[in-house]
Structure 1
Amino acid sequence: MAAVMFLVVTIVFLIVRVTPGDPAAIMLGPDASAADIAALRARLGLDAPLPLQYLVYVQQMLQGDLGESIFLGQPVLTAIWSRAEPTFFLTVFALAIACVIALPVGIISAYRRGSLFDQGITTLAMLAASIPGFWLSLMLMQLFSVRLGWFPVSGYGGPGASFGDRLYHLVLPAVALGVVSSALIIRFTRAAMLDVLGEDYVRTARSKGMSEFRVILRHALKNALIPIITVIGLTAAVLISGAVVTETVFGLPGIGNLVVSAVSRRDYPVIQGALLIIAGLYVLINFIIDMLYLIVDPRVRY
């Protein structure tokens, strides 16, 4: 985990620095003189050699300081934390929708392998995986917000909005993300169940007279959970980083929207801080998945 994060820190630092665009020139506008731009670059530390900037950045990061936003004028951690709530609940909501759709559908599809239901679900899963998230978001917005008026078009509620009202604003974005994400989970669930349904212990359980419901859930699903847990965990990580487009379409004040604004403004500290936090969540989720293997399957040993 430490090695991965060190590589992420280095790569993010270099990519952000070689991207065209000068934050000092963007901040001061097109009418700024070269002297004013040079003075601002010196104040921001952007005129120092790259190795020195890198050492200063790593030293600050090790102290828990991700720097200060050039445009927002506040610490990066504060800026990210203030935008974390919509992204967090959107991710949890979308993952719950994806699992509610994918797990039972994938299990039934594997149990009824080769049937019309199985073929239809496989086709729909391929179609859902191919749908662009922004297009589905716009279609849902057009149908349920503009025509039917059931859900708000955009936003996250006013400053005094209740928790229920904020979740109400997340329904359409969560459905858009959850439907697309469910396609991969359906395919993995189906494949994992097919691998275990033909095993000897499943046939033995059936020969003992156990009900099909108990055979599927207690014997087959339990032994197919490792790949299913893996894909669910990776889907959660992808949702955290992949909510940028959905948040932009629905006007949600989340981390994705913050990153888009930071990229357009060349706000280096915010870009670096957001990417590092997202990468850290990726690594943490993978670690949690590895630990869950021990709970799901006691035969796993490290």
Structure 2
Amino acid sequence: MKYMLKKITTLIITLLLVSVVTFVAFSVIPGDPALAKLGTYATPERVEALREEMGLNKSLPERYVDWLSGAVRGDFGESYQYAGTPVSELINQRLQVTAILAVMAFIIILVISIPMGIVSARKEGTWIDVFINLFTQVTMAIPAFFLGMILTYFFGLTFKFFQPGKFVMPQENLGSCIRYLIFPAIAIAIPKIAMVVKFLRNSVLSEVKKDYVRTAYSKGNRTKKVLYIHVFQNALIPVITFIAMVAAEILAGSIVVEQVFSVTGMGRLLVTAISNRDYPIVQAVVLYITVIVIIINFIVDILYQFVDPRVRTE
């Protein structure tokens, strides 16, 4: 219980600190949001009136408290670029897309990488291990955006499995959306699969050399039982951390892959907002990414208690 309370307290403090840094960073950037919204030909009176309406004449602490209280309720203000559309509405639309893409990519990673990592460790030194190592070396070296371009050329332009640039939002047609996202998910997943396989293989091989494994064998346990009950559980500890980083990266929005496939997700929204100096969106997306990373790390800390009982006694 004390462990949980400590982690929850740390999570809340971290979120508050990040919210302060995020708000202050975008508040001190040169430029007037009111002028950016109205345009350079706006009269000083109109600019001043809008500054008053947007609360920009208040002190920095007052504006932070107003922003934070709105953020807690899910209100991040209005977008400059999208004609006063609420930022929360824009994020909710893109979040659905990014969440679907992330879940698909994550499932592909887990389903393929964990069996491959275990097989590679079990067959160490055989042609199977060599083949898997070769596969991981090649796929790790290919950038996700280049892999996306290859998939687009072959499966989009050549075999016509999907129409590049014709992404359909899930609200319009969920089935078409999922079919389109299969290939971006593969482009994201393949380099990550190679990394997870490497981590898991090395972790399993490291555990196999420890004393408790020899003890398990001396008690008459079979190889499969030792591997899956004793070794695999301990080998997962460092792998969980890496998988959590992968999950956070995908959920934060795979910016480059979304650009390659013209997927209207969080990554693309962030790039567009930065290029148009749409600071309310940028602030909200940065805070969203931070929250995702912190929450996933919190979940990993809780998982450690189940995977490694020693954590509970610390």
Identify the TM-score tier after normalising by the shorter chain.
Answer: 0.7 to 0.9
8 Å CA contact retained: 2:98, 2:253:
no
Counterpart CA distance in 1 for 2:297 and 2:172 is: 35
For the residue of structure 2 that corresponds to 1:224, the secondary structure is helix
Counterpart CA distance in 1 for 2:192 and 2:151 is: 16
- 1:82 Cα deviation after fit: 2.0
Tell me, yes or no, if structure 1 residue 107 matches structure 2 residue 118. yes
Counterpart in 2 of 1:15?
Answer: 25
Instruction: Name the CA shift for 1:133/1:23 in 2 (closer, same or farther; >3 Å).
Output: farther
Counterpart amino acid of residue 242 in structure 2: V
Counterpart CA distance in 1 for 2:251 and 2:43 is: 41
For the residue of structure 2 that corresponds to 1:83, the secondary structure is helix
Superposition pairs of residues 246-261 of structure 1, within 5 angstroms: 246-261=257-272
8 Å CA contact retained: 1:233, 1:289:
yes
Counterpart in 1 of 2:273?
Answer: 262
Task: Figure out how many residues of one structure are paired with residues of the other and give that number.
Answer: 302
Counterpart in 2 of 1:243?
Answer: 254
Query: Which of 106, 116, 125 pairs up with 2:136?
Result: 125
- 1:158 Cα deviation after fit: 6.0
Query: Which of 95, 101, 105 pairs up with 1:94?
Result: 105
Counterpart amino acid of residue 68 in structure 1: E
Counterpart CA distance in 2 for 1:131 and 1:26 is: 40
For the residue of structure 2 that corresponds to 1:67, the secondary structure is coil
Counterpart in 1 of 2:92?
Answer: 81
Instruction: Name the CA shift for 1:114/1:41 in 2 (closer, same or farther; >3 Å).
Output: farther
Tell me, yes or no, if structure 1 residue 45 matches structure 2 residue 55. yes
Counterpart CA distance in 1 for 2:124 and 2:171 is: 51
For CA contacts below 8 A with separation 6 or more, give which structure has more relative contact order.
1
Counterpart CA distance in 1 for 2:31 and 2:118 is: 50
Q: TM-score, normalised by structure 2?
A: 0.84
CA-to-aligned-CA distance 1:101-122 (integer Å, 9 cap, x gap)? 2212222222233445445544
Query: Which of 57, 78, 92 pairs up with 2:67?
Result: 57
Counterpart CA distance in 1 for 2:80 and 2:176 is: 33
User: CA RMSD, aligned part only?
Assistant: 2.7
What residue ranges of structure 2 are gaps of 5+ in the alignment?
1-10
**Percent identity over paired residues:** 38
Counterpart CA distance in 1 for 2:157 and 2:279 is: 37
- 1:172 Cα deviation after fit: 0.6
Counterpart in 1 of 2:163?
Answer: 152
Query: Which of 14, 31, 37 pairs up with 1:27?
Result: 37
Counterpart CA distance in 1 for 2:136 and 2:172 is: 36
Counterpart CA distance in 2 for 1:158 and 1:278 is: 21
Counterpart in 1 of 2:14?
Answer: 4
8 Å CA contact retained: 2:96, 2:170:
no
Tell me, yes or no, if structure 1 residue 136 matches structure 2 residue 133. no
Counterpart in 2 of 1:196?
Answer: 207
CA-to-aligned-CA distance 1:97-140 (integer Å, 9 cap, x gap)? 11222212222222233445445544543443343222221111
What residue ranges of structure 1 are gaps of 5+ in the alignment?
none
CA-to-aligned-CA distance 1:33-56 (integer Å, 9 cap, x gap)? 555445444433335444443343
